[in-house]
Amino acid sequence: MSTRNLLLSIPLALALGSTVLGSAALAQQGPNLGKPITEADVGAWNLDVLSDGTGLPAGSGTPAQGAPIYSQKCAVCHGEKGEKPAPGYGPMIGLHEFKTIDAPKTVTYYRYATTLFDVIRRSMPFPTPKTLTNQEVYALTAYILSINKLIGENDVMNAQTLPKVKMPMADNFIVRFPDRI
């Protein structure tokens, strides 16, 4: 058998072997494997947040509540004041105008403030995403919007107020519809 054929057959053999071994292992894993998934199971992973606020959970937060959370859970990667991140991480404070394509894209580039909430809730803090409470996510969102001067120091972010925040780039995105080109 040629080396190429041998290399191509290894994944197939592993897949077939894991199917046979996998079924025996499944039987030993417990009662939840192979059980149909429920709406409640899906709900735990359904984190979609739309631009109009649909999908935002209950809760609220202020910039003052977000500042200590940011210092504790975000500053190590994104910088003490959000300006000077560690290598490989993005700053939290940014431009309010993007005149060139290579301008750094920070949270001020988002079209909707709800995007910031969504990103924080789904992927922060690294390396333990989805460990923040909804209150913490609202507070961090408020803090980051505040340090970018997009909301006031005393503004409260919640499911009603967050979608109303006017982002600097909101009107600068072009949406093309294939049927209208």
Distance CA 152, CA 135 (A): 18
Share of the chain above pLDDT 90, in %: 49
pLDDT tens digits along 161-177? 999 999 998 888 777 66
Q: At what angle do helices 63-73 and 134-147 cross, to 10 degrees?
A: 100
Question: In the predicted model, what is the mean pLDDT of residues 89-105?
Answer: 78
pTM above 0.85, yes or no: no
> Is residue 70 a contact partner of residue 172, using CB atoms and an 8 Å limit?
no
Adjacent-strand bridge partners of 60 = 158
138 Cβ contact list (under 8 Å, min separation 6): 59, 60, 61, 117, 157, 158, 162
Q: How many CA atoms lie within 13 A of 76 on its CB side?
A: 7
- Identify the residue with better confidence: 146 or 7: 146
- Provide the pairing of β-strand 60-61 with 157-158: antiparallel
For residue 168, give Cα distances in angstroms to 24, 54, 104, 115. Answer: 56, 21, 14, 13
Start-end of H helices in the chain: 3-29, 39-43, 63-73, 75-78, 113-123, 134-147
Which range among 5-9, 37-41, 148-152 has the greatest average pLDDT? 148-152
| The pLDDT value given to residue 166 | 96
117 Cβ contact list (under 8 Å, min separation 6): 49, 56, 137, 138, 141, 157, 162
pLDDT at 11 over 70: no
φ, ψ for residue 61, nearest 5 deg: -165, 155
Distance CA 22, CA 4 (A): 27
| The pLDDT value given to residue 172 | 81
Distance CA 118, CA 34 (A): 31
pLDDT tens digits along 47-80? 889 999 999 999 999 999 999 999 999 999 999 9
Domain ranges of the chain: 3-35, 43-164
Q: Which fold has domain 43-164?
A: Cytochrome Bc1 Complex; Chain D, domain 2 (1.10.760)
